[in-house]
Amino acid sequence: EDDAARLRGMGQALFAAITDAVPDVRLNGAAAGRLPGSLNLTFPGVAAVRLLRELPGLALSTGSACSSADGKPSRVLAAIGLDADDRASSLRICLGRNNTAAEVAYAADRIIAAVGKVREEGGAL
């Protein structure tokens, strides 16, 4: 199995696990033709910056790779029609060729728990 197919499968597994627990999560962009292992997800009403603080150690950001240091929501998400609230509720998740299925399951569990915690604590927009 080549790296692209493996990453694509892990990304699909991550999204499926999150969707099972957080049914209102949305995948931004086309489901097909995306960079393998790269997902951008909107968690409606949840401040993405709060999620970032709850999830150290995971490869997450609120913006694109080239602008991740500035902490601003993605301009690409605006270009595809997301409103300001949805952009502020979106996370970019990146998997790498060295990630394992166990790490993907761990990341899914942590993201699911963080969304629940932020919602419970009133970390909404």
- Is 109 part of a structural domain of the chain? yes
| pTM listed for this prediction | 0.89
- Is 70 part of a structural domain of the chain? yes
Residue with tokens 């699911």: 112
Q: Quick one: tokens of 87? A: 């952009």
> What is the model's pLDDT at position 25?
98
94 an active-site residue?
A: no
Q: How confident is the model at residue 63 (pLDDT cuts 50, 70, 90)?
A: confident
> What is the model's pLDDT at position 65?
56
Q: The CATH number of the domain where 114 resides is what?
A: 3.90.1150.10
Catalytic residue, from 30, 31, 32, 66: name it.
66
What is the secondary structure of 69-102 as a DSSP string?
GG-PPPHHHHHTT--HHHHHTEEEEE--TT--HH
> What is the model's pLDDT at position 73?
59
pLDDT in tens, 66-75: 554 455 657 8
In terms of residue numbers, what domain contains 92? 3-120
- Is 125 part of a structural domain of the chain? no
Total domains present in the chain:
1
**Mean model confidence pLDDT for the chain:** 90
Q: What distance in Å separates the CA atoms of residue 84 and residue 56, rounded to the nearest whole number? A: 24
